[in-house]
Amino acid sequence: MSNRVACVTGASRGIGRATALALTRAGFDVVAAATTIESNAGFAAEMRAAGGDFLAVNLDLTSPESIKNAFGRALKEKGRIDVLVNNAGITRDGLAMRMKPADWDVVLRTNLDGAFLAIQQVMLGMIRNRWGRIINISSVVGQAGSAGQANYAASKAGLIGLSKSLAQELGSRGITVNVVAPGYIATDMTKDLPEERKKAILAGVPLERMGTPEDIAAAVKFLASEEASYITGHVLAVNGGLYM
């Protein structure tokens, strides 16, 4: 049998990039999707160096048409998608009292609606093949909440509920649906936090360090593997003990 095909959204940087590389090194053919990834020469060079047979597709998760086109192209070129990693996500932080409706909408549309529409694109093929792995990247914020992040927390909590429901719907077809919930990870999304906020967060992490994108990628790689075939509907917290 040819290599399994894995699609990773938000693959151009941070957790998505680390995940695309980890899956490539583990022998998967990777479809890397992100807003402007087709022109990202640095990403392409890194993937080639990892020895991967990869396809880069531009994907705008706020656009149902873009989602349909991107997955249509991936399925046409690769034949199937065995593993979907819904990693792409955005933040538009602000206190709920002053949050603009547009900031609520775009976060939910990208992080939750986009993930669901991506799943719909690959679900039928997985059912037909009676094998599949859907791995949704949530957040510790989706489990514990976070002041000033009502929209982001709602979207990430929504992914957990979505995953548990789909795990029940798809289990009889040999498809597992799981969640990885990262804690405080060193990425572009966290680097701009004020120093005081970073110190306060780290004070609550028993392992006394920030996580790395590679820590998350390792969890995803495990859930995508044959060894994880009896795990579904699970939320795997990779947070250094920040939330237990």
Domains of the chain, each with CATH number or no CATH: 5-238 (3.40.50.720)
Global pTM reads 0.96
* Residues in the chain, pLDDT under 50: none
- Could you give the angle at which helices 14-25 and 213-223 cross, rounded to 10 degrees? 50
Give the integer Cα–Cα distance in Å for 20 and 175: 21
Residues, the chain: 244
- Could you give the angle at which helices 41-49 and 14-25 cross, rounded to 10 degrees? 30
Q: pLDDT at position 66, please? A: 98
Placement of tokens 């994880």 in the chain? 228
- Nearest of 181, 157, 187 to residue 238 by alpha carbon: 181
Q: pLDDT at position 1, please? A: 54
How far out from the chain centre does Cα 109 lie? Answer: 15
Q: pLDDT at position 201, please? A: 87
Please list the active-site residues. Answer: 152
pLDDT tens string 44-68:
999 999 987 899 999 999 999 999 9
Q: pLDDT at position 187, please? A: 83
pLDDT tens string 96-135:
999 999 999 999 999 999 999 999 999 999 999 999 999 9
